[in-house]
Chains A and B, each alone.
Chain A
Amino acid sequence: MSGAEIGLALSVFLACAVEAVEALTIVLAVGTTRSWSSAMSGVGAATLALAAIVAALGPALTALPIGVLRVLVGGLLLIFGLQWLRKAILRSAGLKAKHDELQIYNEEATAARAAGAKHPGFDGYAFTISFKGVLLEGLEVAFIVLTFGSNQHRIPLAAAAAAAAVLLVIAAGVAARAPLARVPENTMKLAVGVMLSSFGMFWGAEGAGASWPGGDAALPAIIAGVLIAANALAWNLRRGMRHVAADQAVPTEIPNQAVSTEIPDQATVSA
């Protein structure tokens, strides 16, 4: 397996694992409070819809000329990657709320209980919420599978990496019988953002006609560079937030009064 193929499999696996953790929380909440059979029907229907999207768009993408494909795929991956990086950096500095799977589980379960009486057979609420949750969380992964896979003509490899991530998350969910709150989602999202941005930059520039120094060997250097830049931006932002917090701390007139170093609430941007 080449370095690019390992990068493809790793990126898809991480992206899919993160989204699967979020989908699992929703399915667990409606399955536990409403109906497992209807929730699982929703999961099955959404999985089929995602598979159909990949099956329909995959051949269409791979039929494009390689230059056009690389600009298109590179541009999309870069835009997606920058979104993932931006959110991960903001979360690491406390400027965006981190995903709290337990809190989301409780909110979904409360909404499911308040959604009226359960139907003894097919429960439409459980089906719809599961279907929407899995479809929406899976859509971005489907596009990552398609773009990465089509560009390297390895859609089956990308799909296998996605399937492996889903199976792993399902197994962990079954073992834990609870939302996977301890998964380091933000670190995984930062890693996905780094990979998507790096591959997007590499393929986009190649598709636009540029030649990287060293050819394919430039890719690891690009990934390292993006990783260092993202961490430097996150570190700089956290440092800035600490300075803001220190400047806004209450002066200590009473000798034993503790000075707060918490980031003020008004600086927090809602998710």
Chain B
Amino acid sequence: MKRVQGFFAGVWEFVVGDDWRTALGAVLALALTALLAGAAISAWWVMPLAVLGLLALSIRRAARGGG
């Protein structure tokens, strides 16, 4: 059981890293892009805005000691 837990913890650490909020934000941004594109609305701008915002927030949290 511990090995299975260790494996999943390793995968989580490998994929998500130090900041799960940023990873979640990237997934949500992709989902929003898909939703808008599916509705025939221009959606290319979502990812650049999301990446800039996510990175800035992540840096701000780390600078304030919030991980």
Q: Could you list which residues of chain A lie within 8 angstroms of chain B, going by C-beta atoms?
A: 71, 74-76, 78-80, 82-83, 85-87, 89-90, 93, 95-96, 139-140, 197, 200-201, 204-205, 207-213, 218, 222, 225-226, 229-230, 233, 237, 240-241, 269
Selected A-B contacts with CB under 8 Å, 15 pairs:
A78-B51, A79-B15, A82-B26, A82-B54, A83-B18, A83-B19, A204-B26, A204-B30, A205-B44, A205-B47, A210-B33, A210-B36, A210-B46, A212-B44, A222-B48
Verify A208–B58 contact, CB threshold 8 A.
no
Verify A233–B55 contact, CB threshold 8 A.
yes
Q: A82-B26, A230-B55 are in contact. List 10 more A-B contacts (CB 8 A).
A: A79-B17, A79-B22, A82-B58, A95-B63, A200-B26, A204-B26, A204-B33, A210-B37, A210-B47, A241-B63
Q: Is B52 positioned at the interface, with any CB of A under 8 Å from its CB?
A: yes
How many residues on the B side are at the interface (Cβ–Cβ under 8 A)?
A: 33
**What chain B residues lie within 8 Å of A229 (beta carbons)?**
51-52, 55
Verify A140–B14 contact, CB threshold 8 A.
yes
Q: Is B9 positioned at the interface, with any CB of A under 8 Å from its CB?
A: no
**What chain A residues lie within 8 Å of B42 (beta carbons)?**
210-211
Give B33's nearest chain A residue, CB to CB. A208
Q: Is B65 positioned at the interface, with any CB of A under 8 Å from its CB?
A: yes
- Partner among B14, B19, B43 whose Cβ is within 8 Å of the Cβ of A205: B43
Q: Could you list which residues of chain B lie within 8 angstroms of chain A, going by C-beta atoms?
A: 14-19, 22-23, 26-27, 30-31, 33-34, 36-38, 42-44, 46-48, 51-52, 54-56, 58-59, 62-63, 65
Distance to closest chain B CB from A141 (angstroms): 12
**What chain A residues lie within 8 Å of B18 (beta carbons)?**
83, 86-87
Verify B44–A213 contact, CB threshold 8 A.
yes
Q: How many A-B residue pairs have CB under 8 A?
A: 105
Give A211's nearest chain B residue, CB to CB. B44
CA distance A78 to B34 in the complex (A): 16
**What chain A residues lie within 8 Å of B33 (beta carbons)?**
204-205, 208-210
Verify A82–B55 contact, CB threshold 8 A.
yes
**What chain A residues lie within 8 Å of B22 (beta carbons)?**
79, 82-83, 86
Distance to closest chain B CB from A143 (angstroms): 8
Verify A208–B14 contact, CB threshold 8 A.
no
**What chain A residues lie within 8 Å of B14 (beta carbons)?**
139-140
Distance to closest chain A CB from B9 (angstroms): 14
What 8 A-B pairs have minimum CB-CB distances, sorted nearest first?
A209-B37, A208-B34, A210-B43, A83-B17, A208-B33, A201-B47, A210-B44, A205-B47
- With A95-B63, A269-B65 as contacts: A76 and B15 at CB distance below 8 Å: yes
CA distance A192 to B59 in the complex (A): 18
Verify B59–A90 contact, CB threshold 8 A.
yes
- With A76-B15, A78-B26, A208-B30 as contacts: A89 and B59 at CB distance below 8 Å: yes
**What chain B residues lie within 8 Å of A80 (beta carbons)?**
17
